[in-house]
Amino acid sequence: MRTDESLIEAPVIVIGPGRSGSTLLSEIVFVHESLAWPSNYSEWRPAIEWHNHLRRLTDNRFWQLSGEKAQLNRTRALNNLIPRPAEAYPFWEHLTDDEIDFSRGFLLNETASDESRERIRATFSRLVARQGRERLSMKLTGPGRIGFLQSIFPDARFINVVRNPATMVNSFINVDFWRDSGMDKLWWTGGYNGEELKEFERIRHDPIAATAFQLAKVVKTTEEEAEAVGAEMLTIDYDDFLNNPRLGVSAMLQHARLDDSDRVWDKLASLKLHGGSGRHRDLSDEQYETVMSMFANSAGYA
């Protein structure tokens, strides 16, 4: 199957530091009838492509079944077997060159090689075609990887989901993988200078400070990369979104250049929206100030 360039024009890429609401917002947008996306099957079997045809069986003009990430809202029976959007890092690692650490690297100043670029574009074109859709979408968390992604998709439309830093930190320190692997060590690599590495060594045994340090770096580098490469990026604050979800969804659809869709609005209406900035009240006043001081140099948090 040859690359159909029209299927990978202006892909919609939802990004965020993690625990920011990006999963919920992306799942709302990704039910749009035009959009294909890497699925849980891409995550499980990254070298196999035929499973993308399953989307046609579960989501078509007769019925719409879409799996959901079991994070906030209740899911239907057999949810895990239904294709659903996934970050699919094993899929990305399969596609990128060996020297690219797509899952854990900041990828600052990194671009895809010509061979890698063509391979990735061709693979995603086939993914969209096999799912019977018209456009590509994806969701990724952690560092924005904007320069690298834009070297592959120069017309990408980014939606960056952020929220109150203290809420993100509080959420991270209550997640098993972070307590086990990211709380006292650098989860993402390649983006820190010598002074920053020394600072992290000083605070690494303070879970709140160490987590805030890493998330602040993600937020700041995402902003800097977007400005440096002139990315088409819309930033959505999740707390603002909760105050007016319809306005937030309208802004995302407009930025992504997606037509209005009943499926999107039905999805929004079906969700029980959770979590405001009050979730950071588990932190003491001192911990809250520590977190906010880490974000002082990021836009919107100064």
Q: What is the pLDDT of residue 278?
A: 57
Digitized pLDDT (tens) for each residue of the chain, 302 residues in all: 567 999 999 999 999 999 999 999 999 999 999 999 999 999 999 999 999 999 999 999 888 887 665 555 555 556 778 999 999 999 999 999 999 999 999 999 999 999 999 999 999 999 999 999 999 999 999 999 999 999 999 999 999 999 999 999 999 999 998 988 878 899 999 999 999 999 999 999 999 999 999 999 999 999 999 999 999 999 999 999 999 999 999 999 999 999 999 999 999 999 988 766 555 668 999 999 999 999 987 766 65
Radius of gyration over every alpha carbon of the chain, rounded to an integer in angstroms: 19
- Classify residue 193 as exposed, middle or buried by CB count within 10 Å of its CB (0-12, 13-18, 19+): exposed
Predicted local confidence at residue 275, as pLDDT:
64
Q: With left for phi above 0 and alpha for psi between -120 and 50, is residue 160 left, alpha or beta?
A: beta
DSSP, res 80: G
Burial 195-222 (b: 16+ CB within 10 A, else e): eeeeebeebeeebbbbbbbbbbbbbbbb
What per-residue confidence (pLDDT) applies to 301?
65
Yes or no: say if 37 and 138 are a contact pair by the CB < 8 Å rule. Answer: yes
3-state helix, strand, coil in the chain (%, to 5): 50, 10, 40
pLDDT at residue 257, as a whole number: 98
The DSSP call for residue 136 is E
Q: What is the torsional sign of CA 192, 237, 21, 31?
A: negative
Q: Which domains are seen in the chain, by residue range? A: 5-294 (3.40.50)
